[in-house]
């Protein structure tokens, strides 16, 4: 759930940055800083996403009773993260 919450927040931040229309050099520079901060945050979360993928794959391979739900959530998270 933690990674999904982070993805929700990050997607919202990206939408907000994408919808801005800066009209001055300073505003463009500020927008670039926001975008770079988001990109840095995405890179920092890579280990958590990889660990989630590994853990989910392990549970699925061990025939966990909720393997279908685990697989669906994992695939959803990995798809959102790769955007």
pLDDT digits (tens, 9 = 90+) for 25-77: 999 999 999 999 999 999 999 999 999 999 999 999 999 999 999 999 999 99
Provide the pLDDT for residue 26: 93
Q: What angle do CA 20, 49, 1 make, to 5 degrees?
A: 80
Q: How far apart are CA 56 and CA 35, in angstroms?
A: 30
pTM reported for the whole predicted model? 0.78
Q: How far apart are CA 29 and CA 37, in angstroms?
A: 12
């Amino acid at each position: 759930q933690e990674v999904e919450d982070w993805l929700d927040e990050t997607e919202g931040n990206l939408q907000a940055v994408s919808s801005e229309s800066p009209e001055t050099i300073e505003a463009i520079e500020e927008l670039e800083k926001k975008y770079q901060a988001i990109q840095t945050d995405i890179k920092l979360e890579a280990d958590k996403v990889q660990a989630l993928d590994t853990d989910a794959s392990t549970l699925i391979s061990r025939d966990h009773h909720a393997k279908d739900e685990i697989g669906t959530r994992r695939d959803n998270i990995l798809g959102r993260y790769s955007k």
